[in-house]
Amino acid sequence: MSTMRAAWYDAQGAARDVLQVGELPVPEPAPGEVRVRVEASGIHVGDIGKRQGYWGSTMAFPRVIPHGDGVGVIDAVGNGVPVERIGERVWVFLAQSYRPGGTAAEWTVVPSGHAVVLPDVVAADQAAGLGIPGITGHRAVLAGGDVAGSNVLVTGATGAVGRAALATARRAGATVLATVRRESEREVALKLGADHVFVSGADLKDRIVDAVGPDAIDVVADLAFDHTIDLAAEVLRYGGSVNTYATGESQPKVPYWQLAFKNVAVRFISNDDFPEEANQLAARDLTAALVAGDLRYDVRAAYRLEEIVAAHEDVEEGSGTSRVILRVS
């Protein structure tokens, strides 16, 4: 075993222009790392952004095997990692964060702590794309601490990150208010565990106030800062917080005085750079949520590794409420 099937790109650009599939050397685990025989690889908008050069990202390595998330079995360990880990079924995260080799390959290597034991009751499709959206959603709820007894507003609750945020908030003991873009998503959010669901619209603030009262939201887990911050300023309590992980407009206007008078904390969070303690807490909580059935993803398409161009284009063009994965082995 000296080579493996893998997908990669040597320059940023459109999927059909830069993605290649072929043979590359099988990686060996360094000290503290494990090697995972990849079964399924998840694709997230962040993977697309890195490949296209969004958000000012550049090629940190001359060649990149994409995708940060996946599921597989550990088949080798580096020095310092118990040999007993060999044979463990795991889901992996941050495989391609500050590293060149992601999960769009038959093998990947990751730090041992980024390979999380996955019980057999959880299907590979459910965990293959868990890391980026799951850990982001978890952090978007708990970045400021415990939310038990709080009112948490999750925007975009049926998306990949929103589902994880919703599950995290509910399992942590919060009352969960969820926003969705379409009426058809209301029932989905309720089945996922939201206590109140609101379809976005002009009277959104009034409907939230009718449900829980004025100035009653403790935390906003936010998908679109440029669209949400005005609403947050109106419904948050004194000392509340906004934990935001995305925005359409990179330099949005902010209602400064409304936020200041309420002493609102605004946290800008990015998955690649969370504290490792937060990553590990999220890994434990998300695995438990999958096992309990509290976190569920709709997988709309599964492609073979050789079809990675079509898979990336599907993610770019398709619905944000369902997932696309690669079946690698």
pLDDT tens, position by position, 301-314: 999 999 999 999 99
The percent of the chain in helix, strand and coil, each rounded to the nearest 5, is: 35, 30, 35
Query: What is the amino acid identity at position 247?
Result: T
Which residues are bridge partners to 299 per DSSP? Answer: 323
Give yes or no for residue 319 having a pLDDT over 80. no
Whole-number Å distance between alpha carbons of 24 and 275:
32
Residue 76 confidence (pLDDT): 98
Q: At 177, is the secondary structure helix, strand, or coil?
A: strand
Mean pLDDT, to the nearest integer, of 246-266?
Answer: 96
Question: For the whole model, what pTM was predicted?
Answer: 0.95
Which residues is 7 bridged to in the sheet?
A: 21
Rounded distance, CA 286 to CA 135, Å?
Answer: 8
- The two structure tokens encoding residue 217: 């939201």
110 band by pLDDT with thresholds 50, 70 and 90: very high
Residue 255 β-bridge partners: none
pLDDT reading at 9 higher than 90: yes
- Residue 132 confidence (pLDDT): 95
Q: Rounded to whole angstroms, how far apart are CA atoms 49 and 56?
A: 9
**Given pLDDT bands bounded at 50, 70 and 90, which one contains residue 320?**
low
* The pair of three-digit structure tokens given for residue 91, joined into one six-digit string: 């889901």
Tell me the pLDDT tens digit for each residue of 163-186.
999 999 999 999 999 999 999 999
Q: Phi and psi dihedrals of 132, rounded to 5? A: -60, -55
Whether pLDDT at 238 is above 70: yes
In whole angstroms, what separates CA 310 from the centre of its chain?
21
Is residue 55's pLDDT more than 90?
Answer: no
Q: What is the pLDDT of residue 88?
A: 98
55: left (phi over 0), alpha (psi -120 to 50) or beta: left
Tell me the per-residue pLDDT of 35-50, one tens digit each, with 9 for 90 and over.
999 999 999 999 999 9
Reported confidence tier of residue 1, pLDDT bands at 50, 70, 90: low
Query: What whole-number percentage of the chain has pLDDT above 70?
Result: 99
Q: 32 near 80, Cβ under 8 Å?
A: yes
Q: pLDDT value at position 54? A: 84
